Amino acid sequence: MKNKEVAEIFNKVAALLEIKGDNPYRIRAYQRAAQVIEALTTDVEELAKQGKLERLPGIGPDLASKIKEILRTGTLSLYEELKKEIPPVLLTFLEIPGLGPKKVKAIYEKFGITSIEELEKACKEHKIAKLPGFGWKTEENILKGIKLFREKIGRRPLGEILPLAEKITEILKKESPVENISIAGSIRRRRETVKDIDVLITSTEPEKVMKKVVELPLVEEIIAFGETKTSVRVKAGQSTIQMDIRVVEPDSWGAALAYFTGSKAHNIRVRELALEKGLKINEYGVFKGETKIAGKTEKEVYASIGLPFIPPELREDRGEIEAALQGKLPKLVEYNEIIGDGHVHSKYSDGTASLEEIMEKAEKLGLSWVAVCDHSQSLKVAGGVPVEDLFKKKRRIEELNKRSSKVKLIFGAEVDILSDGTLDYPDEVLKEIDFVIAAIHTGFQQSEEQITNRIISALKHPLVHAVAHPTGRVIGERDPYAVNLSKILEVAAQYGKALEINAYYKRLDLNDVNARAAKEKGIPLIIGTDAHFIDQMEYIHLGTAVARRAWCEKKDILNTLSYEEFMNWLKKLRANSR
């Protein structure tokens, strides 16, 4: 069905015509055609084949031929021409939720604003509200729209882009003459969202590598083609993302990797340190006068300015330079030290995998335990487990554990914190569940005080071990609910309860900053993938990345414990909570 694509192009044409100040009847015709096509329950391509397009309301010979053109070429020449006539920034503005063509046009004509940053500034200075037909509310909506736009379209979740970037580097490694290849930028630092894919290589035959790059089937558009730098847009889900590939000299590999890994803020600090030592540092190397004193490896580059190697996840200028100078960098938890998954759903609730499949997958991932935490009884939309079934699940887990020596399952539950702060199973049931992780799934609209108190009651409950996704945010979709996190941290620390680092790529909750605050208070952290499909268990490393960005060491993360150690931790916590 190409209906959506055709409708979208017609809508865009209408918007562009409106910005241009074209004939309102013509604009209306495109809008109407878009609506008609979008509402169709039949395939527009079929109608075109049968010559029935003109039977649709509002579609005459001209629009019918335009539909055929879109079906044939994937675009419309009129649309492509309009795009060239209009400043590109206005096309971007149209993508901001809450900003239609009329408003975009008015803003552009009045202020000549040419970037999102300028638009944001004008809103903050209340210039926009003064335009006829605008107001305070419009300004507020535009600001919200800008935020959503940046999150959604401007930046993509790491979990979507990292696998793509790794796939591309794997292909280039196998099928082109690269010597060194590495992902750099925010992906290498494992930031939760990324703007683009930065790749560095060394090669004696760069032209062959670049040729391979632009020939990748994933490439949708070539932005620039050159032997030292090539930029393309690669297909990523429903849209595309820019990828820049740079070729560097082997002698500059470390310097380039450090430079292009960033962050910019970290680089600036590094450069200042170099300057203090009378050195110059750039993407080619570290220089004393004209002489290059380092550049081949990152380690050598850091050493030349008196620093130990700083792991990419720490390079955010959040104190890592000071810590490095004092020899106090944390020994970050390693990806392979995570041997358990603290939160997986099975068929007992809304997961799609059986217990056996979870065990199998865990073994493939090199894990030695998985806590199977299905939803609790009231959460009907998510298949909450009624009490009778809980005990079936418990027995089944015991049987499977007897048979398996490599992977153990833990009988857990993700128990809803009800809107009054009580838990969704009675205590006599909770005490039979080996791992109770409490969570909020309803009442997101409650006040900060209410939500905070709900979580606090759960943390204080003697049978609760942990709280899942403590802030409730979903990247690009939902802001955190109103919660006073510092109060939560205080109570968790006081009661020795764990907080989750939810590793699902759209959650990553706690995030890096909050997880670090928790770690500093000595709160144990538990990584859980919250997998509802078996493959989502692979996201465990994203949770580890958050933990590393939160400066966590092995001792801070419960998933580094063996099965027996973790079970002991659970029991001890309850014994101490009585």
List residues binding Ca ion (CB under 5 A).
185-186, 196, 198
CB 246 within 8 A of CB 256: yes
Write down the least CB distance from residue 144 to Ca ion, Å: 25
384: left (phi over 0), alpha (psi -120 to 50) or beta: beta
444-452: long-range contacts, CB 8 A cutoff, minimum separation 24: 444/472, 444/478, 444/481, 446/419, 446/481, 446/482, 447/482, 448/482, 448/483, 448/484, 449/484, 450/419, 451/481, 451/482, 451/483, 452/483, 452/484, 452/487, 452/488
> Taking CB within 5 to 8 Å according to partner kind, which of Ca ion, ligand DGT, none is near residue 267?
ligand DGT
341 binds, among Ca ion, ligand DGT, none (CB under 5 to 8 A by kind): none
Block residue for tokens 């007897």: 402
260 binds, among Ca ion, ligand DGT, none (CB under 5 to 8 A by kind): ligand DGT
How far apart, in whole angstroms, are the C-alpha atoms of residue 333 and residue 315?
16
The smaller minimum CB distance to ligand DGT, of residues 186 and 529, is found at 186
Q: Which does 268 bind (CB under 5 to 8 A by kind): ligand DGT, Ca ion, none?
A: ligand DGT
Q: How far is the CB of 159 from ligand DGT (least distance, A)?
A: 14
Tell me which residues touch ligand DGT (CB under 6 A).
185-186, 191, 194-196, 198, 259-260, 262-264, 267-268
Tokens read off for 156: 């993509």
Report the partner that residue 263 touches, choosing among Ca ion, ligand DGT, none (CB closer than 5 to 8 A by kind): ligand DGT
Shortest gap between Cβ of 269 and ligand DGT (angstroms)?
A: 10
The residue (of 96 and 161) whose beta carbon lies closer to ligand DGT is 161
Q: Which is nearer to Ca ion, 186 or 193 (CB)?
A: 186
CA distance 470 to 462: 18
Instruction: Tell me how far, at minimum, the Cβ of 196 lies from Ca ion, in Å.
Output: 5
Q: How far is the CB of 250 from Ca ion (least distance, A)?
A: 23
Query: Shortest Cβ distance from residue 216 to ligand DGT (Å)?
Result: 20
Query: Closer CB to ligand DGT, residue 198 or residue 434?
Result: 198
Nearer to ligand DGT, 56 or 270 (CB): 270
**Beta carbon nearer to ligand DGT, 260 or 505:** 260
Peptide bond preceding 231 in cis form (omega within 30 of 0): no
**Helix and strand totals (H; E) in the chain:** 24, 17
Query: What are phi and psi for residue 346, nearest 5 degrees?
Result: -120, -175
Question: Residue 262 binds which one of ligand DGT, Ca ion, none, with CB within 5 to 8 A depending on kind?
Answer: ligand DGT
Residues 376 and 384: beta-carbon distance below 8 Å: yes
Min dist CB 184 to ligand DGT, Å, is: 7
Nearer to ligand DGT, 159 or 262 (CB): 262
C-beta separation of 103 from 138 below 8 A = yes
**How far from the centroid of its chain's Cα atoms is residue 320's Cα?**
23
Q: What angle do CA 560, 502, 408 make, to 5 degrees?
A: 45
Task: List the single partner that 253 binds among Ca ion, ligand DGT, none, CB under 5 to 8 Å by kind.
Answer: none
